[in-house]
Amino acid sequence: MKHQDDTCAILFSGGTDSTLAAALQIEEFGKLILLTFDRAGIAKIENSKTNAKMLIDKYGADRVEHIIINFDKVFKHISYENYFKNVMKHGFMNLSTCGLCKLSMHIQAIDYCNTHEIKYVADGANQGMNMFPAQMKPVVDQMKDLYQNFGIIYSNPVFEYESPDEGSFISMENANMLKSLPKQDMEKEMQKKTAGKILYEKGLAPLPNVKGSVYDRKRQPRCFQFILFKMFANKYFLANKTYDEYVGETVDFFADKVKVAEAILTSEKGKKLL
């Protein structure tokens, strides 16, 4: 174990990616703190306790701890500070609710780590979810720099893993997803390097591909603001611009927001939000 005496904080939703991130980090670190974040607009936060309990039962309560933190104030500030000026400069990018939400979680995680002298943070960010700002490589790099400014190493142990196949809206696979556990081609799923497959091999999931199923949804909180974000990103932005342009504008937007994040973490006024 490389960091036997160290603690790692995990940004933990309870979904397959963050659960695997925790299962991988427990092999490197003496202790894990699973940080789940709650705010207005996130429902069923208690769902995150299911996989947290599974990890605690498997690895021991002395090694895994689960904490839920409210971040209403930070999220509201990050989303709406200098709003008119930001709308003039970045337009509909201000609807990157998922990225702003994740940035707010990072801010809260840095504050927690600073208070508890934790030097390592990980999460389940995955390259397959590259529509979401917080899982785009350039934005992930911006987050790493933010953490580094506070002496914390932020890593993404499942970033390179494959995403499971997403059935189209009208495919059989999606029809299967209505059932608690979806039917799947085991041989095909076991050939992939997905978070689900590794969790299954570790005895932490009943099947290699549970992503999007009722089983998966019951293990993480629910938030509908991603619909607003996807409407803007898919129907408005990507309807007449390329993905590279989308990444470029996202990086510019989050460069400004990261400066706000630093101000929150270093100023007396900002710390009142934490």
Question: Which residues here bind other proteins, judged by CB under 8 A?
Answer: 40-41, 76, 79-80, 87, 92, 94-95, 97, 170, 174-175, 178, 223-225, 227-228, 231-232, 234-236, 239
Q: 74-94: b or e for each residue (b if 16 or more CB lie within 10 Å)?
A: bbebbbeeeeeebeeebeebb
- The residue assigned the tokens 């036997």 is 4
Looking at the Cβ atoms of 79 and 155, the one nearer to other proteins is 79
Shortest Å distance, C-beta 41 to other proteins: 4
Residues 50, 55, 58, 62, CA torsion sign: negative
Q: Are 41 and 76 in contact (CB under 8 A)?
A: no
The 10 Å Cβ neighbour count of residue 221 is: 21
Looking at the Cβ atoms of 55 and 233, the one nearer to other proteins is 233
Shortest Å distance, C-beta 40 to other proteins: 6
Give the Cα separation of 39 and 215 in Å (integer): 23
Looking at the Cβ atoms of 224 and 243, the one nearer to other proteins is 224
Q: Are 35 and 67 in contact (CB under 8 A)?
A: yes
Looking at the Cβ atoms of 30 and 41, the one nearer to other proteins is 41
Shortest Å distance, C-beta 94 to other proteins: 6
Give the Cα separation of 210 and 213 in Å (integer): 6
Shortest Å distance, C-beta 227 to other proteins: 5
Shortest Å distance, C-beta 272 to other proteins: 17
Extended beta strands in 71-167, E state: 120-123, 153-155
Looking at the Cβ atoms of 112 and 226, the one nearer to other proteins is 226
